[in-house]
Structure 1
Amino acid sequence: MPKTEKSERARKGVQTRERLLGAAIAEFKRGGIAAADVGAIVDAAGVAHATFFFHFPTKEHVLLELERREQERMAAELSHYYRRGHDVRATLAKAVEALEALERRLGARLFKDFLALHFSTTRPPSEEWTTHPVIVAVVEELQRAQQRGEIPGEVDVMLNGVSFLVGLYALLITMPGSREVRRPVIEEYLTTYLYGLRAV
């Protein structure tokens, strides 16, 4: 196959995948991943039914792709913020803000599915928690705070950073209501973790 024909096929494959991803996300927003109809997704994307499964073996694989993109976006936002002066509480609070912004982008139903995927026993195999971009961004910033003397040297910032985010995901999945209703609980959660980090 000539090189130009190959590159054209690859370009069309990427476009098809993007259409499917967009159609699947729209369908997930309407009724959640469990109720999502693959037939409706392929109709909206204008492709054959089998094309969905060529690009995404399961509906969960769509969420994994969305997760990868959103994790990279949030990590970039956090890293940009962390370059400015701030304290340890702001390090954790900014992670909360990034997740709240994600919830606004995805809508409440898809956001809960997105977070619940982290705890799913049917989650397709992927990388370890410690390679997720958001976790890496938060843990590296806690490590810098430790180097500055804001967190005692004996505190395991990797364990605390990972458990903070995993616990936050679980909290946001299970807590009903608006941000205003959740705010006191989130503030208490932040205080609890600051105590565990013994941040000055």
Structure 2
Amino acid sequence: MAVANQPSARETRRLQTRERLMGAAIAEFKRSGMADADVRAIVSAAGVAHGTFFFHFPTKEHVLLELERREEDRIARQLVRFAGSERDLRAILAESVRLVLGLERRLGAVLFKDFLALHFSQTRPPAEAHMDHPVIEAVAREIELAKERGDADPEANAFNCAVFFLLGLYALLTTTHGWPDQSAMLDDYVATTLRGMAAR
């Protein structure tokens, strides 16, 4: 008897090809940056025909969009897990910083800069402009809970505060990469964010 919802052999092959292309594209982006990445090198590393890349990813930006979706989901899950045992908003914001810094280490400086630039890009594919942002939602939920506990200003808009915090974090990481005092600056950023949301 067949197992329900089991992907067909054809669908399995399609997904495997997509994953090979994704891995090869990320490796190439790490080396060259997205703009200078060579699609020929990507398809050669993945062992597929040139047109196969564009079947799965209409543009190189779509590879980054897929990576963004996956990484945001992963970071949000880790943050929710952390928040399940930690109710201090300072610790939760500091953990958000730590998780994003971990992403920077995994992606490398070149790809991380492209990854963050995608958030502010004027060329972001229009269909992707309003995608979900699970990290923003996770941080906003924790700010809302802090408001309920009396640890944050009850008038604060939790979603907006989460957006301001994360966009500021991304901007800081983009502009202070390699600075010797980046860590102290990020600690001060968390403290400043908390002061801005403090209960009156």
The answer to whether the superposition gives a TM-score over 0.5 is yes
What does the per-residue CA deviation read over 1:4-29, in whole Å, with 9 as the maximum and x for residues that have no partner? xx922111111110000000000001
What is the aligned residue count?
193
- Measured in 2, the distance between the counterparts of 1:141 and 1:127 equals 25
Question: What displacement does 1:176 show?
Answer: 2.6
What does the per-residue CA deviation read over 1:18-57, in whole Å, with 9 as the maximum and x for residues that have no partner? 0000000000011111110000000000111110000000
- Asked whether the equivalents of residues 154 and 199 of structure 2 are also in contact (C-alpha less than 8 Å), the reply is no
Partner of residue 116, structure 1: 117
- Measured in 2, the distance between the counterparts of 1:55 and 1:81 equals 34
User: Which AA in structure 2 matches 1:44?
Assistant: A
Corresponding position: 1:135 with 2:120 = no
Q: Secondary structure at the match of 2:181?
A: helix
Question: What displacement does 1:152 show?
Answer: 2.1
What does the per-residue CA deviation read over 1:135-184, in whole Å, with 9 as the maximum and x for residues that have no partner? 11111111111111111211112111111101111111111305x53112
Partner of residue 16, structure 1: 17
Return closer, same or farther for 1:70/1:199 CA change in 2, 3 Å cut-off.
Answer: farther
What does the per-residue CA deviation read over 1:101-149, in whole Å, with 9 as the maximum and x for residues that have no partner? 11111111111111110001001132537x3011111111111111111
Structure 1: gaps spanning 5 or more residues: 1-5
The correspondence of residues 1-200 of structure 1 with structure 2, limited to 5 A, is 7-125=8-126, 126=128, 128=130, 131-177=132-178, 180-198=180-198
Q: Secondary structure at the match of 2:8?
A: helix
Bigger mean CA offset, 92-101 vs 120-129: 120-129
- Asked whether the equivalents of residues 86 and 92 of structure 2 are also in contact (C-alpha less than 8 Å), the reply is no
RMSD: 1.6
TM score, norm. by length of structure 2 = 0.91
Structure 2: gaps spanning 5 or more residues: 1-6
User: Which AA in structure 2 matches 1:191?
Assistant: A
- Measured in 2, the distance between the counterparts of 1:156 and 1:138 equals 12
- Asked whether the equivalents of residues 88 and 199 of structure 1 are also in contact (C-alpha less than 8 Å), the reply is no
Q: Secondary structure at the match of 1:176?
A: coil
Identical-pair percentage:
56
Q: Secondary structure at the match of 1:12?
A: helix
User: Which AA in structure 2 matches 1:162?
Assistant: V
Question: What displacement does 1:85 show?
Answer: 2.6
Question: What displacement does 1:199 show?
Answer: 5.1
Partner of residue 3, structure 2: none
